[in-house]
Amino acid sequence: MISHPSHRPVSALRARMIEDMRVRGFTEKTRNDYVRNVRAFAAFISRSPDTATAEDLRRFQLHQTQTGMQPPSINSAVAALRFFFTVTLDRPDLARWLTIVREPRRLPAVLSVEEVTLLLQAAPGPKYKAALATAYGAGLRVSEVVALKVGDIDSQRMLLRVEQGKGRKSSCPREGQVGQPGTLVGTPRISGIGALLSLPGRAACNRICPTPSV
């Protein structure tokens, strides 16, 4: 869930940090996350974060671990605080005390062809079936699927153009057919999903090809 900024006055220190992030092209979500993490740190030490010491950072990370915070959340706070101390405060000597928590990689659960078929059959309607088939066949994220437009589909070359995906990168995943021919049928533009065109069947492929520069 994205936290919405409050209407209380923004301190000069926070305004400077936000400006530093805007200059570097950070998304609004990233800016909100970084501000939230620095604010949480300031609340923990009960004073302005620009007065923090190395011991404050050590205690904060120890507190996060003891309260059961998961590695992704801890590492998100580390990224925010490293930016704050290194860029906004120009205090890299403090940032080096922050420790990234390593998390063991887990093998993903891979669905069988039969399971994927059952998943598509359970879709409540054509638009949901088209969205699920596109996500699975091309290896797209949910946000990338719902942002697709008719013009993003190249049925001749079997390509989808993904604009501003994760990391604000554009890519060309190859569309793979899932289920019977005609799975990707024309559907109305609902919830950001364009009219997905029917594509001829091919083996599923989720490799991302670089977008040619023009």
DSSP letter for each residue of 167-213:
GG--BEEBP---SSTT-S-----BTTB--PPP--------PEEPPPP
Q: 50 is written with which tokens?
A: 């620009």
Instruction: Say if CB 184 and CB 160 are below 8 A apart.
Output: no
> Across residues 7-17, what is the average pLDDT?
82
Q: What is the DSSP secondary structure assignment for residue 69, as one 8-state letter?
A: -
The Cα–Cα gap between 182 and 165 comes to: 26
Amino acid identity, residue 102?
R
Q: 153 is written with which tokens?
A: 């589909």
Ramachandran angles phi, psi of 190, nearest 5° = -130, 135
Of 133, 129, 135, 119, the C-alpha closest to 190 is 129
Instruction: Say if CB 132 and CB 124 are below 8 A apart.
Output: no
> Across residues 144-167, what is the average pLDDT?
71
- Produce one character per residue of 95-130: b if its CB has 16 or more CB atoms within 10 Å, e if not: bebbeeeeeeeeeeeeeeeeebeebbeeeeeebbbb
Amino acid identity, residue 116?
V
Banded model confidence at residue 56, pLDDT cuts 50, 70, 90: very high
Instruction: Please give the pLDDT value at position 88.
Output: 96
Q: What is the mean pLDDT of the chain?
A: 75
Q: Is the pLDDT of residue 180 over 60?
A: no
Question: In sequence order, what are the beta bridge partners of 193?
Answer: 190
Lowest-confidence range among 42-46, 70-74, 80-84, 180-184? 180-184
Q: 123 is written with which tokens?
A: 């879709």
The Cα–Cα gap between 178 and 118 comes to: 11
The Cα–Cα gap between 194 and 153 comes to: 10
Question: In sequence order, what are the beta bridge partners of 153?
Answer: 160
Q: 200 is written with which tokens?
A: 């001829």
Instruction: Say if CB 129 and CB 123 are below 8 A apart.
Output: yes
**Size (the chain), residues:** 214
Instruction: Please give the pLDDT value at position 7.
Output: 54
Q: Is the pLDDT of residue 193 over 80?
A: no
